[in-house]
């Protein structure tokens, strides 16, 4: 009974390709997030959706586009992948954006060659 | 600009010892200060958290000390165990957004 799940766990691709990462939560939460963890383990928020509406959009290249088909799912599509996009991407959710605890998924390790 | 600064970057402690990790923040609008624990290959998980109107919070072997005037907070792990070896992140929240510190890699030697 996984709370926040992501697919795939690993993604290896060539520069210039387009790829997607999927996230699902079964906690009944209203708010979902995407974080990027770089090679130095620094965690930075990228996007947040509350009830399918974008509420946080950090300074992220517009090659990154989140999509929330419903409040249990938040996908991340990345166009024209670059070497610098290599990182671990974490999805997270919280009851709503005012509630404290965020539950993180297991992460997707993206490697761009 | 790093809004939450964490130190040390790495820490080695003997089993049974006390691990102390410090964080400092700049923005007085932060209203919630969690600590997350991350094991290799896993996502971060909430360990313990505090609000700025409380100076200390203890849960088992884990204690947060919070100094509002100094804009600093710290995590103390008492009786550290090898199973505590992980990366620890402090964070601060403003308007639904969590700002993380740089992380501390803790290694507890048996």
- pLDDT, one tens digit per residue, over B41-66 is 999 999 999 999 999 999 999 999 99
Whether residue B96 lies within 8 A of chain A, CB to CB, comes out as yes
Cβ B43–A48 below 8 Å, yes or no? no
pLDDT (0 to 100) of residue A81:
97
**Residue A59: pLDDT above 90?**
no
**The predicted structure's pLDDT at residue B2:** 64
Structure tokens at A57: 């959009």
Return the structure tokens found at B78.
């008492």
Q: Give residue-wise pLDDT tens across range B53-102.
A: 999 999 999 999 999 999 999 999 999 999 999 999 999 998 888 999 99
How far is the alpha carbon of B92 from chain A, nearest alpha carbon, in Å?
Answer: 11
Q: B3 — contact with chain A (CB < 8 Å)?
A: no
| Average pLDDT of span A66-95 | 95
CB of A21 within 8 Å of any CB in chain B? Answer: no
CB-nearest partner of A100 from B41, B49, B89: B49
E strands present in A19-86 = 19-25, 31-37, 43-50, 53-57, 64-70, 73-78
């Amino acid at each position: 009974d996984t709370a926040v799940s992501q697919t795939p766990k690993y993604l290896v691709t060539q520069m210039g390709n387009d790829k997607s990462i999927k996230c699902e939560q079964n906690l009944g939460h209203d708010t979902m997030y995407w974080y990027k963890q770089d090679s130095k383990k620094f965690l930075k928020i990228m996007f947040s959706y509350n009830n399918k509406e974008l509420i946080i959009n950090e300074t992220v290249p517009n090659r990154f586009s989140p999509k929330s088909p419903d409040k249990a799912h938040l996908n991340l599509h990345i166009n024209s992948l670059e070497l610098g996009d290599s990182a671990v991407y974490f999805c997270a959710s919280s009851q709503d954006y005012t509630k404290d605890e965020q539950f993180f998924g297991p992460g997707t390790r993206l490697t761009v060659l | 600009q790093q809004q939450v600064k964490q130190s040390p970057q790495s820490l080695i402690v003997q089993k049974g010892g006390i691990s102390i990790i410090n964080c400092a923040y700049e923005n007085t609008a932060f209203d919630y200060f969690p600590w997350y624990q991350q094991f290799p290959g896993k996502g971060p998980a909430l360990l313990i958290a505090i609000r700025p109107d409380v100076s200390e919070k203890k849960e088992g072997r884990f204690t947060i000390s919070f100094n509002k005037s100094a804009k600093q907070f710290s995590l103390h792990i008492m009786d550290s165990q090898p199973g505590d070896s992980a990366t620890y992140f402090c964070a601060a929240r403003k308007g639904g957004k969590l700002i993380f510190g740089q992380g501390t890699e803790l290694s507890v030697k048996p």
